Amino acid sequence: MQNWEPYKTSLKSSNKLKKTNTKNSTQFLITLLVATLVIILDQITKLLASQYLSKQSIKLLGPLKLKLEYNSGIAFSLLSGHAVIIDITIAIVCIVLIYYAIVSRSLLMNCSFGLILGGALSNFADRLLRSDHQVIDFIYTGFWPTFNLADTSIVIGCALLVIKLIKTDNEKNNSSP
């Protein structure tokens, strides 16, 4: 009589791998969904800002106002005038984010990747689609450089990612003897 044990073990491993791949696929779809929502919302708000804020700003509360500005650099206008370096950096960051989103098993990390990826791609789209290769910014605080929803999304995504990494590190330290 033939021993079926090796085949049963192989089948169990195969089923476990399928569950892992399905979970990773679902998590990656969440990343794509979050990124897509960020891009849509950011591009809509930039369109509205360019239409309604071109002649005047709108005062909201305290120093906060909506004010149309253009930025050829990245965060805080860094690297202004260095479009090629910015474009290559954004492309590399997006590729790395997609890789980690594919292999990630954490919902929070995938949402973080989606926020960062969506913000980066939306600002990248501005650079590629606008003739002046500038990003539209419109949220003015008076004490911080003017920014947009994509920038906000990137910052929130990075903050969530740091929180998750700290939490994971603390859990590892607490579980080790």
Catalytic residue, from 126, 132, 151, 169: name it: 151
DSSP string, 18-36: HHHHHHHHHHHHHHHHHHH
d(CA 22, CA 18): 6
Q: Which residue has the tokens 């939490």?
A: 167
Catalytic residue, from 42, 126, 132, 137: name it: 137
Beta-carbon neighbour count of residue 112 at 10 Å? 27
Whether residue 132 lies in the annotated active site: no
166 Cβ neighbours under 8 A, 6+ residues apart: none
CB 114 within 8 A of CB 35: yes
Name the DSSP letter for residue 75. Answer: G
Whether residue 42 lies in the annotated active site: no
Among 151, 160, 158, 157, residue whose Cα is nearest residue 124: 151
- The residues carrying an active-site annotation are 137, 151
